[in-house]
Chain A
Amino acid sequence: MTARRRTEERTPLLLGVLASLGIALVAIPLVGLLIRVPWSDLGSLLSSDVVLDALRISLISSVAAAALSTLLGVPLAWLLARRRFRGRRVVRAAVTLPMVLPPVVGGAALLFALGRRGVVGEPLDDLTGVVLPFSLAGVIVANTFVAMPFLVLTVEGALSNSDRGVEAAAASLGASSLRIFWSVTLPAIAPSLRAGIVLAWARALGEFGATVTFAGNLQGRTQTLPLAVFVSLENDRDAALAMSLVMVAVSFAVLLGLRDRWWNSR
């Protein structure tokens, strides 16, 4: 008994060293960033028009993208987890694709589909006058495109592993399937759903490539924090660093708050 415990507690040297290198790989760039941040000017840098506009656009677009991801992603996750249909694996792979795809490719694909000359975009413009590129709506679409897979995967994992006995009991008592979904299934996976929403939101907040390709870059309309950081990095390093600090702080706080929920739920 004691002997077994001791073996479990000992970390093999090789694993320990490699794990430390792994930590260093992530931590060193962060330290590099923190060292360069102009701490004394932080207040004035963060209250400039460019930063405030970018903060506003980022906040609106990331929250909207998380909401849209939830609205569309939860039903999609339910379908993937609970229904056996032809092409299910293809659908799952397609839905997950934006996680792997370079965001620039995603942005170009969005432009070809939803741009002013796009397959869907052109008739949309003709019929309704709605133009997505170069608009805040376009930013939200681009953000949702890259963020939704995070929600779908998280929720699908939870739905596949959840106990279906209660659902069966509710059905035997005569509850409608939509009612079961709303009052039994969703509450049962609430922690994973929360984690999925936060992950999708965090991914949307950091989105760059798809946004700049599809929605362009204009201060006060489509320029999110990552875009403002990219443009300022070339002209105004200090402002770029200050905005980077905001993004690191917010993202880190969110991930810390999530703790291990994402992984435990699977």
Chain B
Amino acid sequence: MIYEVFRQERKGQAFQHAGSIEAPDERFAQWYAREQYGRRGESEALWVVARESIMRIEEFVDELNRNYHRVDGYPLKEKLKEARERAAARTQAST
């Protein structure tokens, strides 16, 4: 069985995926995780999870193209560029 290992670098930090382990059961998975990801005191803590327990979500439906739900629905880059150009032009004009 495959287990995924997440490690916490320092107290309070988010757990990050560190790698995976193959083990026959939870007991072995914990021992191997400790060995592979904790032997040198490099982790504050570990999460060890059976891969089959992880629910993966990849498909996101947006049939009506509701870009106002999304951060990229309001493209600021272009507007910011134009505003800067106008401001530069005003400064030029007043000198």
Q: A and B: real partners?
A: no
- Listed in ascending order, the chain A residues whose CB lies under 8 Å from chain B are none
- Listed in ascending order, the chain B residues whose CB lies under 8 Å from chain A are none
